[in-house]
Amino acid sequence: MNAIYSDDVNAVEKLTIKLADLQTQQDRMKAINKGWRKAGKPKPDNVEAWQGIADGMGCTLEDLGTTRVNMAHDFMDRAPYSYHITNNGGNMKRIKDRIVQLVRVREQGEVEKEPPYAHQSPGIVREDMAEPEQEKEPSGWVPPQRQG
């Protein structure tokens, strides 16, 4: 999904959709981890155990293929989505907070924003990219010569 800007009139709706997608992913990852623990924490190459996990979730073994491949690459034998769940939870909290903030701003009313520079349009910002001047040596000063 592309970036969602706060000044977008549909920002709250877009963030709500994004939050729902993240919640769906969170529920799926938790279900896979729960099934994995319940099946005795099988290795990725244990097809029978993973088939049991898939059956318990109501999906096919192919649906869990990416999870199994990712686990095979993880040499630490962690749960399939050990840190993904934590990161996803943080993202969901951040989006919920952002939705609350945007709703609060909308309820207070729209605030007119002045462009960063009055002579420019709001979308264009120009900066002076000239090189900074280097310090000049004091007049009459000669750097010492190396002896060698």
Q: Tens digits of per-residue pLDDT, 98-141?
A: 999 999 988 887 654 555 555 555 554 444 445 555 555 556 66
Judge contact between 120 and 126, C-beta under 8 A. Answer: yes
Do 80 and 71 contact (CB within 8 A), yes or no? Answer: yes
For the chain, the domains span: 11-108
Residue 116 CA to residue 126 CA, distance in Å, equals 10
Note if the pTM is more than 0.85: no
Question: And the tokens for 123?
Answer: 């979308």
Q: How many angstroms separate the CA atoms of 29 and 1, rounded?
A: 20
Mean pLDDT of the chain: 82
